[in-house]
Chains A and B, each alone.
Chain A
Amino acid sequence: MAEAAHRSQDEDAVWRALEEVKDPEIPVLSVLNLGVVRAVEFSDDDLEVTITPTYSGCPAMDMIEAEIKESLARAGYPDASVKTVLSPPWTTDWIDEDGRAKLLEFGIAPPQKATANKRALFSAPPEVACPQCGSENTEMVSEFGSTACKALYKCGDCLEPFDYFKCL
């Protein structure tokens, strides 16, 4: 009983340490918001955190792994290991509600919920509301944006350009 309480305290500390690790390119999102942390496992004295990559070529993943190790070291787990698994593959549906709200507040339109990406040639791009003024009078400027996970849009009312987190 006492041991169980002790264990759960440890686990709370680990989740708090993970909450402090932010996506280096979208600093309002923690790795928990992003949904890349798959498991936290204690075995004997070892701690192993399992993560999954977002986009195959996302350069932030190496940094995220390093920052998770650092944060866990600060929380008292200097020997924690981080394991990467690919399957099942991450999708933008794994970004939690809190994360979606933070994205919008940060000025990035959150991804749409469907994960199907097999649109026909020249079919209409997803309709995305402007994160600045809420207008739906927006148009896609480019299918690729400032990072691998974003497309570039422009608002027809407030005229601001903005990023849309691509649905994957």
Chain B
Amino acid sequence: MTAAVARNDQALSQQDALYDYCLRLGDNALILGQRVAEWTSNAPTVELDIALGNQALDLFGQARMLLDYAGRVEGKGRSEDDIAFLRDVLDFRNVLLVEQPNGDFGQTVVRQFLYATFASALYEGLSQSKDEELSGIAQKAVKEMAYHARHNGEWVVRLGDGTEESHARVQAGLDALWPYVHEVFEADEIDLAMAEAGIGVDPASLKDAWLAEVTAVIERATLTLPETDWHPDGGKRGHHSEHLGFILADLQFLQRTYPGAQW
């Protein structure tokens, strides 16, 4: 009897961990996509406008697959739309980095470069996941995020090694975002449980390679790696900066105002 109950608890906790894990991945993609989409019609050139719009589209596509899967893992009948549009700030599980304001174009390409470099390594690892669904999603997403990492990496170099003005702006963007990088690689009990089960990847295991890749680009861009002891975190547990509420106000307006609206 006791053994049966214990097994049951364990099964439940594995399911809960997978749900949270998918939610984190999906929320990172959704919130970053929404941030990038804010550039639509505002980018410096029409080609960059299209590039940013397309990157947002890739991220939304990843978010849809991940949140749809989260809903199925949860087993309460929630769709990807229910999860995206009908949760409030405290229920979101994205890292703080992806909800940071766009700043200028320089700051945005820095954020996209830092995140995409991480995400392409993460999805590469998840391609080997024992969870077939996650592995399938990752095998698609890894190619898209590698493309983003290169595109944005080139812009970091172009602007960093550009004019005095562009250099100063990209450096300021890097300085502003660097404290938020720490959280991306923090592993908690959910990450570790998923990694141990062969389903997820321990983000801490990706940090050294990531830092080497990022440092090479930052040096090529003649920028300086910031040093900071301030490491805000909490996004993965639902403790967000004030920015997320404003993002959701835009993202969720339609479904909040006209519940169930379709087109």
Residues of A in contact with B (beta carbons under 8 Å apart): 53, 55-59, 85-90, 117-122, 141-148, 152, 166, 168
What does DSSP make chain B's interface, helix, strand, loop or mixed? helix
Contacts of B151 in A (CB 8 A): 143-144
B154 at the interface (CB under 8 A from A): yes
Known: A57-B60, A144-B54. A86 touches B47 (CB 8 A): no
Residue on A nearest B151 in the bound complex, by CB = A143
B217 at the interface (CB under 8 A from A): yes
Contacts of A57 in B (CB 8 A): 57-62, 64
B188 at the interface (CB under 8 A from A): no
Known: A56-B140, A121-B157. A144 touches B50 (CB 8 A): yes
CA distance A142 to B50 in the complex (A): 9
Contacts of A168 in B (CB 8 A): 143
Residues of B in contact with A (beta carbons under 8 Å apart): 47-48, 50-51, 53-55, 57-62, 64-65, 132-133, 135-137, 139-141, 143-144, 146-147, 150-151, 153-154, 157, 217, 220
Residue on B nearest A119 in the bound complex, by CB = B150
Residue on A nearest B132 in the bound complex, by CB = A87
Residues A86 and B154 in contact, CB atoms below 8 Å apart: no
Residue on B nearest A117 in the bound complex, by CB = B143
Among A143, A147, A166, the residue within 8 A (CB) of B51 is A143
What does DSSP make chain A's interface, helix, strand, loop or mixed? loop
CA distance A85 to B140 in the complex (A): 12
Q: Which of A87, A90, A141, A148 has the most CB of B within 10 A?
A: A87
Residue on A nearest B48 in the bound complex, by CB = A142
Contacts of B54 in A (CB 8 A): 144-145, 147-148
Q: How far is the CB of A59 from chain B (nearest CB, A)?
A: 7
Residue on A nearest B45 in the bound complex, by CB = A142
If A88-B139, A142-B51, A144-B55 are given as contacts, then 17 extra A-B residue pairs at C-beta distance below 8 Å, sorted by A number, are A56-B140, A57-B58, A57-B59, A57-B61, A58-B61, A86-B136, A87-B132, A117-B143, A117-B146, A117-B147, A142-B47, A142-B50, A143-B51, A144-B47, A144-B151, A148-B61, A152-B47
Residues B50 and A53 in contact, CB atoms below 8 Å apart: no
Known: A145-B50, A148-B57. A118 touches B146 (CB 8 A): yes
Known: A56-B65, A87-B139. A121 touches B59 (CB 8 A): no
Residue on A nearest B133 in the bound complex, by CB = A86
Query: Can you spell out 12 A-B residue pairs with CB atoms less than 8 angstroms apart?
Result: A53-B140, A55-B58, A55-B140, A56-B61, A57-B58, A85-B136, A87-B132, A87-B139, A117-B143, A144-B54, A145-B50, A148-B57
